[in-house]
Structure 1
Amino acid sequence: MRRFLTVRHDAFPLRAPFRIARGVKTAADVVTVTIRQGDAQGWGEGVPYPRYGETIDGAIAAIEAVRALIEHGATRADIAGAMPAGAARNAVDCALWDLEARLAGTSVATLAGIPPVAALASAITIGIDTPQAMAQVARGVARVPLLKIKVDREGAADQIAAVRAVAPTPRLIVDPNESWRVGDIADRLPMLLAQRVDLLEQPVPAGEDEGLADLAGAIPICADEALHTRADLDRLAGRYSHVNVKLDKTGGLTEAWALATEARARGFGVMMGCMVCSSLGIAPAMLVAGGADFVDLDGPLWLATDRPGGVRDDGGILSPPQPGFWGTPACA
C-alpha cells in the first residue's frame, strides 16, 4: 500500500531566551514529518542546527528529495543509505518507527527490543546570564537531581560558583559549548573540582580537542559537537570519557541506539541529549535514555507551549508523553 508524506516547518516560541556561548534562541524551529499508510500515521521531528550547516529549508529539501523513496515503501535502512546523518533523517527515521509500530499494533519499544520508557531524572538547564540572574533561576530548581549550566569563556568561574552556592546538592554538568581552550580546563581544574562538577561537556572546539588526552582522568569530559555517529568513536577514544548522543546528530533513533550501545561497549559513559525541541523530539530519545549515565532532555520545558500530550516534568523527573503520542498505542 502506498504511503503519503507531509513535511512542514513548525515554530515554537520559547518561554524565555535560551542563551549559550555561541548565541541566543527565542524559538524552537523544527521540521515535522508525517507518513500515512492506510489508516495509520507516524510522525517525527528534527531540529536543523546551524552549527552543523543545517537550515529549515535545507532539511525540507533533503526530505523532499527522498519523497518518492518514502512513499513507495522505503525501510529505515533504505533511508540511512539515502540520507546523511542529521536532523532531516532524524525526522524521517522516527516517523517510520512510529508508523511501523502503529501498523503492527504495538509500541516502538517492543518493536526495537528496547526496555519500555519510564520516568527518569533529566537535567534542568540554566542558560547564560549574569551570575546573579543564574543564581536566581537556580534557587527555583535547587532540589532537582541534575542541573546543567551553560557558561562562556570569561565569566564561567563566577557563573558556576553563583549556581553552586544556591544549589549545593544536584549533580552538575557544565557546558561551555566549545568556547574554552585546553589551557582553560587545566587552569580551572581546581575550581571545577571544588565546585563538584560531575561532567564537563564539550569545553573546546571539536576540531581542537587533541590536547584533551593530556587531561584524561582529571575530570569527566563529554563529547557533544565532536560526536555524530559510530564512525567518530575511534577519534574520541582517549580524549573524552563520555559521549553525548542526540537523535538530530545521529540521524534518528536507529543510529542513536546503535551508537549508545557501541559507545558503552567501548568503555565510554553515555549522555542522552537533545536540541531545544518539542516533545515529539524527546519521545524517541527517552527510549535510548534509559541506559544513560546522564540525561539532558529538557528541550520541551523551554517552550511556551508544547505539543499536546507531551512529556511532563516534576522536580527534575521527566515522565514520557501520554499513550498514543508517539511510539505507543493509544490504549497503552
Structure 2
Amino acid sequence: MADWQNPWQAIRSAFFEPVRYFTDPTERVYLLYLASGLICAIAVFMIARRRDPANTPRSFLAYLFPRRIYLHPSARADYWFFLIDRVLSFLVLPFFVILIPAVARPAYSLLVILFGTPTGPLLAPGLGTNLLITLVAALAVDLALWWIHYLHHRIPVLWEFHKVHHSAEVMTPITAYRMHPVEVILNLNLTALVSGLVFAAFQYLTANSGMVYSVIGVDVVTLLFLLFGFNLRHSHVPMAYPRSISYFLVSPWMHQVHHSCEKRHIDKNMGFIFSIWDWMFGTLYIPARGETFVIGLDSGEAPKFHSVAAMYLRPFRNVLARLGREEKATSSKSS
C-alpha cells in the first residue's frame, strides 16, 4: 500500500511493485507457488507422454512453454498489463478498498451491544476450534467470491468489466492479473466485508482466544490450494483431479473450461477453491478426459482487448454503448 505521507517514496516503491509479487507469499505468482506448479506440470507431462506419446512433445520445455502461447498477442498484452497495472494499483487502489479490521471492529462492537460482553469463550479454545475457524473463514470467503463472480457473468454492466479477464485467447500464470480495476475493487471489498464479519463472530464466540491457522502469512487452506498447481489454472496444462474430488475442489482444468467460449462451457465453474458452490447452484462442469475447447469470448471481441489501453477503457465504452441502446429501445417502446 502506498504511503502518501512520503509521496516520492511511494512512487519509487510503486516501480518495484511488480517484482514484489514474485517474492510475497500472499501473491499468486510467489516463486514457491510457481515452483510447485512446475512440479505439477512435470507430472501432467509424464502422464501425457505415457498415454499419448504421438501428440505430446518429447521435450518438457516445448510442452510447458510453447511459443504459440507465450508469444501470442494476448499473452504479450498480459505482460504489459501486469507491469503497468501493478504500479497503478499500488498507487491508487488503497483509496477504494476497505480493510478487514475496519469491518471486524464495528461488527464486534455490534455483537457486544446486541448480546452483551462475553464473560468467557462460548467455543472452547484449542485445536478443534481453530481448525473450525480456519475452514469456515475459507468457505465464507470462497462463497463470496463465487457469488460476485456469478454476478459478473449475469449482470450485463458487470460482465463488460469481467470481459477483460475472459478476453485472453491464451493463458499463462500472469493472466490471473488480467482483471479490470472495477472488478478488483468489488472483489476486494466483498471479501474484506465477509472476512471482517466472520472474524468478528469468532472473536466474540471465542472471547478472542481463537485463531486462523496460517503459514508464511497465508491461511493453510488457501496455502494448500496455491501450492497444488494453482498457477496451472491459467495455462494450457490440463491438470485434472479425480471426478469425485472435482465435486468439491476446482481443478486447474476446470478453471480452464471456465474460460472456454463454447456454448456448453459458458457460465460454468465459477468457484475459486471449492466447487461445491457450482455443484449446489447448477454451474458445475467436469470435463471429460481429452475434451478440447477454444478459450476467449464467444462474441469474437477478444482481439479488441489485446492492449493495455483497451483493457482499461473498452469496458467503459461498452457500458455506455449498452446503456445507449437500452435507452433507445425504451424510447422506441414508449413512443
Q: TM-score, normalised to structure 1's length?
A: 0.25
The structure showing larger relative contact order (alpha-carbon pairs under 8 Å, at least 6 residues apart) is: 2
Greater Rg, structure 1 or structure 2? Answer: 2
- The structure in which a higher percent of residues are strand is 1
- The structure in which a higher percent of residues are helix is 2
